[in-house]
Amino acid sequence: MRAWLALFSAIAFEVTGTLTLKLSALHHHGAGLLVTYVFLAASYALLAQAFRRIPVAVAFAVWEAAGLALVTLAGVVLLHETLTPARLIAMLGLGAGAWLLHHGTRPARAVRP
C-alpha cells in the first residue's frame, strides 16, 4: 500500500512540477524553474520508493501514463489548450497500456537460499 501511495505522490509532484515549468515560462518567473526542479526531484525520489515493491514496468507505466493524462487535462482546464480527438485517443491508449502492464505482470517469486 505504501508503494502505491509513493507512486501516486510521485505522479502529483511530477504533474505539479511540469505545470510550474509551463507557468514560469509563460510569466518569465525564474523562481519557477527552481520550484520545478524541487518537485521533479521529489517525484523521482518517490518513484524510486515505489520501485521497491511495484515492478518497474508497472510503476513507470502508471507514473508516465497518469502524468501525461493529468498534464494534458490540466492544460485544457488551466491553460485553455485544446483537447483534440487525437489527444483523447492517445490518453486512452496510455491508460490501456498501463492497465495491460499492471495486469500482465506477475509478482517476482521470492528466492530461497
Query: In this structure, is residue 56 part of a structural domain?
Result: yes
- How far apart CA 113 and CA 105 sit, in angstroms, is 24
| Domains in the chain, number | 1
Evaluate whether residue 113 is within a structural domain: no
pTM for the full predicted model: 0.81
- The verdict on residue 37 lying in a domain is yes
Domain, as residue range, for 65: 2-104
Residue 97 lies in a domain: yes
Please, what sign has the CA dihedral across residues 72, 78, 81, 85? Answer: positive
As given in the structure block, the three cell numbers for residue 76 are 485544457
Question: Residue 109 falls within a domain, yes or no?
Answer: no
pLDDT tens column, 60-112: 989 999 999 999 999 999 999 999 999 999 989 988 888 888 787 666 554 45
> pLDDT of 43-52, one tens digit each?
999 999 999 9
111 within domain boundaries: no
